[in-house]
Amino acid sequence: MISDEASVWDRRVAEGTEISPAFYNFILGMTLLWGFGCNWAMVAYIPTENIAQINPLLFILGYFASCFFGIYLFRTSDQPIVSFIGYNFIVIPFGFIINLVVSQYNSAIVGEAIRITAMVTLTMMVLGTMFPAFFQKIVGALTIALIIVIIVELVEIFVFGTHHGILDWIVVLIFCGYIGYDWGRANMIPKTVDNAIDSAASLYIDIINLFLRILRILGRRR
């Protein structure tokens, strides 16, 4: 079933049985852990060489097609199983990217990046709970900043063949803001199982992007 609403974030009336805040956060947390666990398994058991052999154009097209399809499913469906399937359509392609990136660093740097990402994420969740209105106000600026950074990075890479480290720090700040924003709005919508999964999917995207940038920053320092 597809909701008549444009997006999960527009929901103000429960489209399913409401659950307790504790259970809502439990489902949200377990959904995030499922995604991280899948990514860990992909890094541990899929040889990086196998991924590298995929045609780059097919890889990029498949990555974006899978992610956009997954986002469409979880944003428009009010059925937990459909939203969970959509979530996995995001987790899998991200797992391939993580596999390729993590293979470039030693385990100590990866572990440090995971710890820092976890601490930053928890901090931003606390701030998102305390100051949801602030993050609502800055989300427009975050989106504009992210688009500009993406364009600048593409120009740097494909035109000038370089990359400035300051852009990684900017992206870290942007996704810190997104974590606070997504956590805040996750607590504004009705507390249902489907909404918990949808919220986890958005937070997963934020957290993984944050992790990848922190990993790059740490790797450059070493």
* 6 lies in some domain: no
* 95 lies in some domain: yes
* 143 lies in some domain: yes
* 82 lies in some domain: yes
In three-state secondary structure terms, 149 is: helix
Tally of CA atoms within 13 A in the half-sphere of 214 that contains its CB: 23
* 147 lies in some domain: yes
- Predicted confidence at residue 164, as pLDDT, reads 81
- Predicted confidence at residue 158, as pLDDT, reads 84
Q: How many separate domains does the chain show?
A: 1
* 209 lies in some domain: yes
- Predicted confidence at residue 5, as pLDDT, reads 44
- Predicted confidence at residue 1, as pLDDT, reads 34
Per-residue pLDDT in tens (0 to 9) along the chain, 222 residues: 333 344 666 666 666 789 999 999 999 999 999 999 999 999 999 999 999 999 999 999 999 999 999 999 999 898 999 999 999 999 999 999 999 999 999 999 999 999 999 999 999 999 999 999 999 999 999 999 999 999 999 898 888 887 788 999 999 999 999 999 999 999 999 999 999 999 999 999 999 999 999 999 999 876
> Among 172, 167, 166, which residue's Cα sits nearest to residue 113?
172
Give 77's DSSP letter.
B
* 5 lies in some domain: no
| Residues of the domain holding 55 | 17-221
pTM for the full model? 0.91
Mean pLDDT of the chain: 92
> Among 209, 222, 211, 183, which residue's Cα sits nearest to residue 9?
183
* 8 lies in some domain: no
